[in-house]
Copies of this chain bind each other. A is one copy, B any other.
Amino acid sequence: MFTLDERLAADTVELDRWSLCRVLLMNDAGYPWLVLVPERVGLRDLDELSAPDRMQAMDEIVRAAGILRALFRPDKLNIASLGNQVAQLHVHVVARFKTDPAWPRPIWGVQPPKPYTAEALADFRRRFAAAQK
């Protein structure tokens, strides 16, 4: 049975469950940052997904990207499956801005996460849900 990695569970909040992926928000108000986790057991890398799951993963990545684009009008999207620290397969989908703290570098490790306030989190959830309609 699929269970979310403990570190991912600690660092994120769940926004939704799509057909393949659990849709998480990284609890870091520094960047609009989604994490998609295919609900499949024991996978570490994208190429371990079955062929149909791979296509579904691409669809959901594009869907997540579209929502961030609509909500934030970013300068760039960063999409990445790294997983050197958390082994469970997960895909980062991040809205980047020329004014963000890490630009033009990748975001990982640049600054400690700034957790959302309860209010900001509720606002994100509301906007995310509205953008899915």
Contact = CB atoms under 8 A, between A and B. Distances in A.
Interface in A80-133: 80-85, 96, 103-106, 108-109
A40 interface: no
A57 B57 CA distance: 12
A44 interface: yes
A22 interface: no
B84 A81 contact: no
Contact of A85 (B45, B81, B82, B104): B104
Contact of A79 (B62, B81, B105): B81
A65 interface: yes
Contacts of A46: 61-62, 65, 77, 79
A103 B84 contact: yes
Nearest to A86: B104
Contacts of A103: 84
Nearest to A92: B80
A105 B69 CA distance: 27
Nearest to A75: B84
Interface in A37-76: 44-47, 54-55, 57-58, 61-62, 65-66, 69, 76
